[in-house]
Amino acid sequence: MKTLQFYYTMDFTFHQAVACHHFTLKCLPLSDHRQTISRLSISITPDCPANKGYDSFGNQYLYGYAASPHDQFSVKATGIARTGLANYEIAADDMTVALYKYQSSYTHPGPNLRQYYDQFHFAPAMTNYARALLMMEKLHDDFSYVQGVTTITTTAEDALRQGRGVCQDYSHILLSLCRLAGIPARYVVGILIGEGLSHAWVEVCQSGLWIGLDPTNNLVVSENHIKISHGRDYKDCIINQGIFMGSSQQSQTISVIAEDISDP
């Protein structure tokens, strides 16, 4: 087990002032079987009313409204995560799990993914977890981590075709492979020690338990990971969404820090 202090900061700069800014933010970790969250603190600039809610996947989010004109918008979330309490999260009912058996817009396989999947030959007695682990290890060997060659709109099929990408791409490809194998699998966004940005990984369902796999690093999710949200793919876990009045370009910077403050 570890005790991690986390800091999640998002800063937006608008090139012209905007107003009537409605926003939804998914940057709030929840306590579950493998982690507990405490001392959660949130600050928003400009100061404006905000409330907490939950989406259909059970993720916690913050929604609010900044009425007055502003050209800067920032959100800071800090807290303490006690991680490594378990290596799983207990799944909900079977119907909820079944949702994650089906391909989504980012994971829908084309000829490249289907051909890649066809190389795997699973023994009849292999569990979902063992099959997913095998596919993760192969993907890690064949795919290269390269920043700047994909975007947030890149699908698993397109990423596999070029053989390079980032954690989002690794996760979408593994999701697609798992679903081709009939394994319920979901996309996860969270924090990993040493990353500096939000991180993505996959959870697969085995005997009523969700177990995390990090294909970017070819490892089982551990006490170094803090989970924020999950869904069918990236689209269900977008950190920031909103609308505002005004014609303005915007730029965004994100800083994510996790520090181990466990007692020696």
DSSP 87: S
- Under 8 Å between Cβ of 237 and 159: no
pTM listed for this prediction:
0.95
Q: Could you give the residue ranges of the DSSP H alpha helices within the chain?
A: 94-98, 111-117, 128-142, 156-162, 167-180
pLDDT at position 248 is: 74
Helices (H), 149-237: 156-162, 167-180
Answer yes or no: are the C-beta atoms of 184 and 217 closer than 8 Å: no
Task: For the chain, 264 residues long, give each residue's pLDDT as a single digit of tens.
Answer: 999 999 999 999 999 999 999 999 999 999 999 999 999 999 999 999 899 999 999 999 999 999 999 999 999 999 999 999 999 999 987 888 999 999 999 999 999 999 999 999 999 999 999 999 999 999 999 999 999 999 999 999 999 999 999 999 999 999 999 999 999 999 999 999 998 899 999 999 999 999 999 999 999 999 999 999 999 999 999 998 888 888 778 888 999 999 999 987
Domains, the chain, with CATH or none: 2-84+239-260 (2.60.40.2250), 89-237 (3.10.620.30)
End-to-end Cα, the chain, rounded Å: 12
